Structure 1
Amino acid sequence: MHLITHRHPRFCSYNLNLNSTRIPVFHQRIPPFRLQSTISHPYKFHIGASWAGKPPDRLRPKVQAPDFASTSDIAKWRAHVLSNYKNINSQHIGEDFFFVQEMRSQSGVALGVADGVGGWVDVGVDPSLFSQALMYHAHRYAKQGWAGEPEIDPTQEYEEREEIEGWEMSPRECLELAHDAVIREKAVNAGSSTACVINLNASSGHLRSANLGDSGFCIIRSSSAIYTQPPQTHFFNCPKQLTKLPSTARRYRGACVDSASQADNFETNLLHGDIVIAFTDGLSDNVFLSEMVNICSLVGRTGGPEINQVQGIADRLVHWATLCMSNRKRVSPFEKAAAREGMYFRGGKIDDVTVVVAMVQETV
C-alpha cells in the first residue's frame, strides 16, 4: 500500500527575533535568547512563520487515536509553539508542523518543516503525531549542535581556550537523529512525513539543507529566485517520506519507507537581504514561484523593520495559498504537474500549508 500525501487554512503566525519588538496582527514574539558568546557573528536571521490547517468542511473524519499525554515533553513543546499565536480561532495546524531553534552559542539558526502523510488515516493512525514528534526531536538536537565547526575564540591564547563542547550538527544528521528518536517514541505508533531542515550559520552566512519528499525551500535574491529545492517522489503525489511502521508491519509491505540518508543535501553562501522560504507542499502545489517572488517584493516595498517584513511575507504567502487552493478556475502548479503525468486535475489543491521565512542581515 503506497501512502499518498494528503495534506489549509486559517492562519496564525510564529516569530523568532533576538531583538524583540511587538508587531501588529495576530502575532506574539517569543522571548529573546540569553546565550552569551564572545565569537563574532556578523549575520543575523530575522524569522517569521505562518500556517493554516484545512478548512473544517474539508477535514477527514478525526482518527480515534491517542494524542500525546499532556504532561509529555512533546505536548508541552507543541503547546508552547501554538501558544505564541494571537489567532485563537486557528488552533488546528493540520498534519504539518515546524520548528525554529537557535543553535549552540548563537552559532546559527536551524529551522524545518514537516508534512504528515495523510494516507495513514485510512488505517486509524493520526498523521499529525509523526510530524509533530519529528519536529520536536529536530529542535531538541539542533539546540545542542553547532551550525558549523565548533567555534574557538581567536582573541584568546591557546592556553586560555576552554575545551569546546558539542559537535557540528548538519541538517541531515539532525534529520537522522530526529527520525531515530521518533522510531523510539512510544506515543507514535506509526506514521510518516516529508521533512526539510535548514541550518543558517551566523558566522559565515552559509546555508545547508537536507530535504526528503515534496516539502522544500527556495532562496530569493534581488527579486529573483536563485534556487528552488526539487521535490523527491516515488511517483506523482507520492513523496519520499520518513516512516515508522506499526508492529503489524506485514500489513504494510507496500508502504514507502525512506531514510534521511536519501535526503537531498544543498549548501550555498547567503548574502545580505536574501530571503529563504521553507514550505510544505500546501504552498508549492498552489502558489507559483513567480508569485512568491512578487509577494516578497511587494512586502519589501512597504519598508519597516526586517522582522515585520518576514512575518508579513509569511502571512501573505499562507493567505494567498488558501485563496488559490479553493479556486477551481485558476490553473495551479499541482494541475500543471498532474497534466505532465497525463492526469486531469482542476484548480487548486486543498491542503494544510506551513511557511517559515528567514531574511539575512549582515551586520558588519
Structure 2
Amino acid sequence: MLWFRARRQLTLSTSARYSTLQQQLQRPYNFHIAAAWQGKPPWEDIPRPKVSFPPTSPIACWRDESVARLSDTQRSAGEDFFLYTNMRHNSGVALGVADGVGGWIDQGVDCSMFSQALMYYAHGHFKNGWTGEPEMDPTAEPYVGVEMTPSECLQLAYHDVLADESIEAGSSTACLITLNSSSGMLRSANLGDSGLCIVRSSSMVYYSSPQTHFFNCPRQLAKLQNTRGGSFNHEDSIRDFPSVADTYSTRLIDGDIVIAFTDGLADNVFTAETLKICSLAMMASKSEAIQVKLIAHNLVNYARKCMYSHSKLSPFQLEARRHRKRFQGGKIDDVTVLVALVRETL
C-alpha cells in the first residue's frame, strides 16, 4: 500500500454541530441516475465455471441488491458489473462499470467474479469517502472523512480483490467516476476498454480513449496467483496496475449527460447514434428520472440490436479493418450502461 498518499483522518463532531453543518452546506447540483444492462447469451460449446460466489456471501448479496435496486428485472449482467452510490453526507455520487475479461472459463474460473468483486469493494470505499476535500463548518470541530478520488478508489479496490481468498483468479477492465454535488466537478479513472462520455447540447464534448495492448486485448487488472499457491496462465499473463489508468476531470454544467459504459456499447454503437438516442429521450415529455431511464435502456437495446446484425457496419468492424483483421457486423458481448443527468438547483 505504499502508493497510497498519506491523508489526515478527521474526528467526529457532535450530532448538534453536524445538524448545523448540514444546514449550511449547499448542494447546487443534483444527478438523476439510471442503469441498464444485458448479458450475452451463454455459448453451448463453453463449459460452465466450476467456482462462483455462494449465494449468501457478502459480494453475492450486494450484487443481487444492486440489481434489484436499479432494475425491475433480474436479468444477469454477464461478465460485466457496475456500482452506483451516494458518497459521504451527499457530497456527490460515484458510478462505475467493470467488464470481466474472458478466457478464464476453461480453467474453471467464473469471469464475472473479478468484476463483481472489484465493484463491491470500490462501492464500499466510495460510500465512506468525500467527492472532494471534506467540507467543514468553521464553528464546529472536524469530523470523520477523507477525499476519495476514482484513481485512489481503484487502487484500494484492486488491493482488496487481491487479498480476497474467495477470488482465485480473473481479470477486468474498470471505469470509476465521481460527480461532486457542490462544485459540479467530474473526476474519473479508466483502465481498459470500458469508458465514459459526456453529451452537452447534442454534442459529444468528451469520449474516453480505450486502453489496449493489441487488437481486442484491453489493459486489465488481474489476479493470476490463486490462494493455494498455484498460478493461472491467461493471455500470456497480462496484468496491468491501477497506476496506468487514464484520469480525467472537468466541471459539468446544467443539462450535461454523463454515460459510463462497457465495450459492448462502444464496439457496436457509433458516437452519432449515441447522440441521437440521447436527444430523442430528452425531447420526450417525461420527467427527468424517466428521461435518463430511456437513455440507458435505449442504448442497451440498440447495442444489442447492432451486435446481432451481420450487415450493419460497427465500430468494432472498423477497428478490425484498421488492424487488417476480417470481421463483419456487430460484436456479441455483454453491455452495461449507467447514465447521469446533471441539474443545477441554485
For normalisation by structure 1, the TM-score amounts to 0.85
Shift in Å, 1:57 = 5.2
User: Aligned runs of 1:270-285 on 2, under 5 Å?
Assistant: 270-285=252-267
Q: Which residue, out of 37, 43, 47, partners 1:51?
A: 37
User: Which SS does the other structure have where 1:37 is aligned?
Assistant: helix
Shift in Å, 1:119 = 1.2
- Residues 276-297 of structure 1: CA deviation (Å, up to 9, x unaligned): 0000000000000110010000
Please state if 1:334 is matched with 2:316.
yes
| Change beyond 3 A, Cα 1:293–1:57 | same
Shift in Å, 1:165 = 1.3
Please state if 1:74 is matched with 2:81.
no
User: Aligned runs of 1:260-271 on 2, under 5 Å?
Assistant: 260-271=242-253
User: Which SS does the other structure have where 1:119 is aligned?
Assistant: coil
| Change beyond 3 A, Cα 1:182–1:250 | closer
Q: 1:135 maps to what in 2? A: 119
Q: 2:212 maps to what in 1? A: 233
| Change beyond 3 A, Cα 1:250–1:218 | closer
Q: Which residue, out of 75, 83, 91, partners 1:107?
A: 91
* Aligned equivalents of 1:270, 1:135: Cα separation in 2: 24
Please state if 1:121 is matched with 2:143.
no
Preserved contact between residue 224 and residue 232 of structure 2 (Cα < 8 Å): no
| Change beyond 3 A, Cα 1:187–1:222 | same
Please state if 1:294 is matched with 2:276.
yes
Shift in Å, 1:147 = 0.2
| Change beyond 3 A, Cα 1:323–1:42 | same
* Aligned equivalents of 2:45, 2:188: Cα separation in 1: 31
What root-mean-square deviation, in Å, do the aligned CA atoms of Structure 1 and Structure 2 show? 1.5
* Aligned equivalents of 1:60, 1:47: Cα separation in 2: 35
Q: 1:5 maps to what in 2? A: none
Preserved contact between residue 37 and residue 106 of structure 1 (Cα < 8 Å): no
The more displaced of 226-235 and 113-122 is: 113-122
User: Which SS does the other structure have where 2:114 is aligned?
Assistant: helix
- Residues 122-180 of structure 1: CA deviation (Å, up to 9, x unaligned): 32211100000000000000001100000123xxxx4x312131100000000110000
Q: 1:322 maps to what in 2? A: 304
Counterpart residue identity of residue 318, structure 1: V
Shift in Å, 1:195 = 0.1
Listed as ranges, the gaps of 5+ residues in structure 2 are 1-20
Residues paired across the two proteins, number: 321
Q: 1:64 maps to what in 2? A: 50
* Aligned equivalents of 2:143, 2:255: Cα separation in 1: 32
Q: Which residue, out of 318, 330, 333, partners 1:351?
A: 333
Shift in Å, 1:255 = 1.4
- Residues 47-94 of structure 1: CA deviation (Å, up to 9, x unaligned): 0000001124578331122x2223321111011112233224x2x220
Shift in Å, 1:303 = 2.6
| Change beyond 3 A, Cα 1:187–1:59 | farther
Please state if 1:169 is matched with 2:148.
yes
The more displaced of 165-174 and 53-62 is: 53-62
Preserved contact between residue 136 and residue 142 of structure 2 (Cα < 8 Å): no
For normalisation by structure 2, the TM-score amounts to 0.90
Shift in Å, 1:350 = 0.3
* Aligned equivalents of 1:110, 1:60: Cα separation in 2: 35
Shift in Å, 1:254 = 2.0
Counterpart residue identity of residue 170, structure 1: T
Q: 1:189 maps to what in 2? A: 168
Q: 1:200 maps to what in 2? A: 179
User: Which SS does the other structure have where 1:316 is aligned?
Assistant: helix
- Residues 273-325 of structure 1: CA deviation (Å, up to 9, x unaligned): 00000000000000001100100000111132111110110000000000000
User: Which SS does the other structure have where 1:126 is aligned?
Assistant: coil
* Aligned equivalents of 1:133, 1:150: Cα separation in 2: 27
* Aligned equivalents of 1:307, 1:341: Cα separation in 2: 41
| Change beyond 3 A, Cα 1:289–1:310 | same
* Aligned equivalents of 2:41, 2:234: Cα separation in 1: 30
The more displaced of 346-355 and 79-88 is: 79-88
Shift in Å, 1:184 = 0.8
**Percent identical:** 54
Counterpart residue identity of residue 258, structure 1: D
| Change beyond 3 A, Cα 1:308–1:339 | same
